[in-house]
Amino acid sequence: MLDAVVIGGGVAGYVAAIKGAQMGGKVVLVERDRLGGTCLNRGCIPTKVLARTAEVLSLAERSADFGVRVGAVSLDPVGVSARKDRVVCQLVGGVQTLLKAWGVEVIRGTARVVGPGIVEVSRAEGGAAVSLETRGIILATGSKPMNLPVPGADGAGVFLGEAALDIDQVPPRMAVIGAGVIGMEFACIYNVFGSKVTVFEKLPGILPPVDDEIARRLLATVRRRGMVVHTGASVEAITSNADGSKRVVAKDESGNDVSADADAVVIAVGRRADYGGIDLDRLGIAHGRNGVSVDECMRTTVPGIYAAGDVLGRTWLAHVASHEGIVAMRNIMGDRCEMDYRVVPSCVFSMPEIAWVGLTEKQAAERAAGVTVSRFPFTANGRALILGESEGMVKVVADSDGRLLGVHVIGPHADDLIHEAAAALHLGATATQMARMIHSHPTLAEALGEAFQGVEGSPIHFLRQRR
């Protein structure tokens, strides 16, 4: 008998499978498509390859600012796509190597859960179905992008979420519907690539999970760079023009018509759980509108069946999915542990980048009395000036005792910087403790140290930014 069958080879599934094998378990991983799931193949990794290309392009275009003359700069879409594919293939190959090295059996095919402890797999290459008997099952079947229920959303030239990676040329005009994380990342990338980008967002502001002040700063920045962003705009249809281009038709909050013509339309209005064809109702697995219901140990309502990752419909974050997979597997292997969501760093690979951990200023004000906010701008940071990327700031939110509640960064390498703050929140550190930690010079991390100092007094290199 197997110790575990993991259904789905994305970041939740393959990580869980490797952890089970590392703990001495006999594990089978079933994947009907490519190992690595959405993250490695169609999401996190390839989009960040494009984001890095946009950064390099932007840097090359302003190389003269650094005293370097490189001549005419242009984008090579074929080269960009080839590099994207190389990076993806290398990482997927790495996952395959790890699974093999740890002795995880990988079966290509579609799984059906017959009942607790029994999984049937229809092999992708055909032949007789495989029946697997196991002590534990992990559902890690992931998610898929949501479409917009309006006329024209399924037409040619309209790309649903991750399908925007298949655009083989830079469109002169692009419309992005949805100003969440995925939408704003694509909007920023193609804005740098040279597209005239128009964004439509139904909500009053962009990036709903992000601190309001940080989101407003990004909005102001992208507008200065020529991006058109319509907030409070409900898209009603996507029509076709005589020249083959598209027109996105919307209404603003006042009921006025708002529209934009585009050569490509990207719909990025969210994702929904994908159950992989598994009949949850027949099995008696409780699930809500967003995804499968689990307890703190990642157990579903059916004994012996666990779930992890996007199929839960909770965070839509790859790093959280991996941890959920580990927690599920540890419990299957008899090492009881619980999932802790209290400290989860999040990133947006916009331009500039955004990252945060903990509470926003608004959330903190609703939950704690006497909130203190400290800010430190990258314009006062030596390393940011050296890099030529001084736009943005570090924002620290603390309670009246200096206990850290949230940290928010907009600016260079925000995705890396946020982990110092995450460690501080995870360990329960105060702003005073973090301010007294020595930060090397000249580094971007000094901006964090200065912002921590501002909670209890004033930073050294910036005047009166505390309130």
- Tell whether the model's pLDDT for residue 125 goes beyond 90: no
Q: Are residues 316 and 402 in the same domain?
A: no
Q: Are residues 192 and 222 in the same domain?
A: yes
Q: Are residues 25 and 106 in the same domain?
A: yes
Q: Are residues 88 and 230 in the same domain?
A: no
Q: Are residues 278 and 251 in the same domain?
A: no
Catalytic residue among 319, 426, 439, 441: 441
At 464 the pLDDT is 62
Q: How confident is the model at residue 165 (pLDDT cuts 50, 70, 90)?
A: very high
Q: What is the pLDDT of residues 441-456, one digit of tens each?
A: 999 999 999 999 999 8
Q: Are residues 286 and 392 in the same domain?
A: no
Q: Are residues 221 and 310 in the same domain?
A: no
Do 347 and 317 touch, CB atoms closer than 8 A?
Answer: no
Last residue of a domain, one of 269, 290, 324: 269
Phi, psi of 319 (to 5 degrees): -70, -30
At 465 the pLDDT is 45
In a domain, 168, yes or no: yes
* Domain carrying residue 76: 2-145+272-332
> Could you give the CA distance from residue 361 to residue 28 in angstroms, rounded to a whole number?
45
Q: Are residues 233 and 280 in the same domain?
A: no
Q: What is the pLDDT of residues 255-287, one digit of tens each?
A: 999 999 999 999 999 999 999 999 999 999 999
Q: What is the pLDDT of residues 68-93, one digit of tens each?
A: 999 899 999 999 999 999 999 999 99
The CATH number for 253's domain is 3.50.50.60
The owner of tokens 């990642």 is 298
Q: Are residues 361 and 374 in the same domain?
A: yes
Closest CA relative to residue 38, chosen from 86, 92, 82:
92
Number of domains in the chain: 3
pLDDT, mean over the chain = 95
> Could you give the CA distance from residue 113 to residue 206 in angstroms, rounded to a whole number?
40
Token pair recorded at residue 69: 């003359």
Q: Are residues 124 and 13 in the same domain?
A: yes
CA distances 407 to 85, 86, 249, Å, are 35, 35, 38
pTM: 0.94
Q: Are residues 282 and 417 in the same domain?
A: no
Token pair recorded at residue 22: 């590392």
The CATH number for 363's domain is 3.30.390.30
> Could you give the CA distance from residue 139 to residue 141 in angstroms, rounded to a whole number?
6
- Bridge partners for 231 per DSSP: 201
At 466 the pLDDT is 43
Q: Which one has a higher pLDDT value, 155 or 49?
A: 49
413 belongs to the catalytic site: no
